[in-house]
Amino acid sequence: MNEKTKACIAISFVNVLWGLSFIASKSALGNGFRPFSLAFVRFAVATVLLFPVLKKRRGSLRPPKGVMPLMLLSALLGMTLYFLFEYGGLERTSASTASLIIAAIPAFTLLFGRMFKGRRYRPVCYAGVVSSLAGVFLIVRYQSGQGTDTLAGSAMLLGAVLCWVGYIETTDILMRRCTSLEVTAWQSALGALTLLPCALTDRLDWGAVTLTGWLMALYLAVLCSVVAYLLYVGAVHQLEPFRAALFINLNPLAAVLGGVLLLGESLNPMQLVGGAIVLVSIFLVNRGSAAQAG
């Protein structure tokens, strides 16, 4: 098994974890947590877990010289600002609309690479973006939950999309000088630090957080932050940003299947069709070799 195949498996697993994180986040928020406090705890716990491992492996916590400005930018984009926009958007927009907007990340990553990085893509990549969006549309179109959409909510989610594209690109650059452990540990620490002011505005009653809330927060910290980000930053470097971005459309599929298996929710056959389209799109794009040198 070559390195790219391993990266595809790893990033698929990551996006399943992140898809299930919607269920965990919803549960944590329903058991005492507030949005920004939850995000802060997630990355603060991740930092506490990662730094001792980094110290043991490298003998020092000091990152390579000159990378901290870019490390801070990546943390702001992929953690602080991303969650500010995502949570703010979800409060003002239906989950279905949010999923569709987030599903535009591969398209924006492709456009960024083409316009600013000089990357060239085969026609199958453009077709993959369109078909993957169609698959996500079918998945979320037949979800039972509905909400009220606002222009402000959609604009905030678009901001989240742009932040994630920037996160992928900056992380790809960082991986040329740092290990995945260094990147994940420092991004978590800087993410927690910059999320702290937002968490303070929540004015959270910590005594109101239930045991279930804490267990869900630990799931988000250990699996969705420590494990997932370690695997993700390495996979981005192996796959190239656009191909890594396309896997994010596994999120809504994992969330729907998780709802069926864990919460007893119903599954519409059209959602299965949409999931199959997403999987086929990812397979075809990766088989067709995404980026060509510009």
Place of tokens 């494990």: 227
Whether residue 145 has pLDDT greater than 60: no
pLDDT in tens, 110-142: 888 888 777 888 888 888 888 888 887 887 776
Q: Which one has a higher pLDDT value, 154 or 142?
A: 154
Question: Is residue 167 packed enough to be buried (19+ CB in 10 Å), middle (13-18) or exposed (0-12)?
Answer: buried
Backbone angles phi, psi at 162, to 5 degrees: -65, -40
HSE-up (13 A, CA, CB side) for residue 274: 26
Tell me if 217 sits within 8 A of 45, measured CB to CB.
yes
Burial 50-82 (b: 16+ CB within 10 A, else e): beeebeeeeeeeebeeebeeebbbbbbbbbbbb
Q: Which one has a higher pLDDT value, 117 or 223?
A: 223
Tell me if 174 sits within 8 A of 241, measured CB to CB.
no
Instruction: Look at residue 63 and give its three-state secondary structure.
Output: coil
Whether residue 96 has pLDDT greater than 80: no
Place of tokens 């799109």: 281
Of 29-38, 228-237, 251-260, minimum mean pLDDT range? 251-260
pLDDT in tens, 241-268: 888 888 888 877 887 787 777 767 677 7
Residue 143's pLDDT is what?
62
Dist. CA 155–CA 19, nearest whole Å: 22
Whether residue 274 has pLDDT greater than 50: yes
Structure token digits, residue 2: 């070559």
Whether residue 67 has pLDDT greater than 90: yes
- For a pLDDT cut of 90, what percent of the chain falls above it? 33
pLDDT in tens, 284-294: 777 765 455 44
pLDDT in tens, 163-205: 999 999 999 899 889 998 999 999 999 999 999 999 999 888 9
